Amino acid sequence: MDIIFDEVTSQVLTELEKTQKEFWNVPRKTGVLLNTFVKMMNAQSVLEIGTSNGYSGIWIAKALQETGGKLTTIEFYESRQSVAIENFKKCGVYSHIRPVLGSACDAIMDFADEEKFDFVFIDANKREYKEYFKLVRPHLTDKAMIVADNIISHADKVQPFIDAIDADKEFQYTILEVPGGILTAYRG
Ligand SMILES: C[S@@+](CC[C@H](N)C(=O)[O-])C[C@H]1O[C@@H](n2cnc3c(N)ncnc32)[C@H](O)[C@@H]1O
């Protein structure tokens, strides 16, 4: 059975899928996986690096409505962030969102030391994935999950990130062959 959302959310997701290429959104399959993982992890504090127009964020935030958690989502461009905020509002999930505007590395460096995330979705500048991992690692809970997109489609650019995860003894990881390819890593 497909995931069933309220009518407005279903319509918003279907509309956003028509401009998927323009806004570099994850495929629907990855959206379903993100929603499922967040629920399975009972995630309370999720970080998304790369908001775009909010498509993946909606899938995550719908799961957070069930877990009672919050999504911090970072986007460089104000024009995209404002579209995302509108989409979050339409889908009734904005109370679960903390939008952060700016460069991802700077934004993560600005987080307070005590800020912790139990789920992180990486989907911004492919060449910076390794840096995101390095910066976000001190902010992960003991049993955190990381999902990163475009692992197969941008294999060369993300290889340093894969090597860093591979060398990290605290994480078990695998690569799933959904369109674009995602890496899932679990610290536990
Ligand atoms: C692949 S899109 C994200 C798609 C989104 N996760 C989804 O599936 O709906 C990447 C987004 O990250 C933003 N971005 C790229 N580099 C960034 C950076 N260094 N800091 C913050 N945002 C960045 C881009 O502007 C773009 O909107």
Nearest CA owner, ligand 1 atom 14? 124
The span from the CA of 141 to the CA of 75, in Å, is 23
Say what the pLDDT of residue 3 is: 86
**For residue 1, what pLDDT is reported?**
79
Short-list 79, 82, 71, 31, CA closest to 55: 31
Around ligand 1, the residues with Cβ closer than 6 Å are: 24-26, 50, 52, 55-56, 74-77, 80, 103-104, 123-125, 128
Model pLDDT, residue 100 = 98
∠23-49-151 over CA atoms, to 5°?
A: 75
pLDDT in tens, the chain (188 residues): 788 899 999 999 999 999 999 999 999 999 999 999 999 999 999 999 999 999 999 999 999 999 999 999 999 999 999 999 999 999 999 999 999 999 999 999 999 999 999 999 999 999 999 999 999 999 999 999 999 999 999 999 999 999 999 999 999 999 999 999 999 999 98
90 three-state secondary structure: helix
**How remote is the CA of residue 2 from the centroid of ligand 1, in Å?**
27
SS3 call for 18: coil
The domain locations on the chain are 7-187
CA–CA separation, 100 vs 97, rounded Å? 9
Torsion, Cα 83 5 179 186, to 10 degrees, reads 100
Q: Which among 21, 30, 28, 12 has a CA at the least distance from the CA of 52?
A: 21
pLDDT at position 88: 98
Pick the CATH number of 7-187 from 3.30.450.150, 3.40.50.150, 3.40.50.10490, 3.40.1260.10: 3.40.50.150
Q: d(Cα 146, Cα 183) in Å, to the nearest integer?
A: 8
Predicted confidence at residue 4, as pLDDT, reads 87
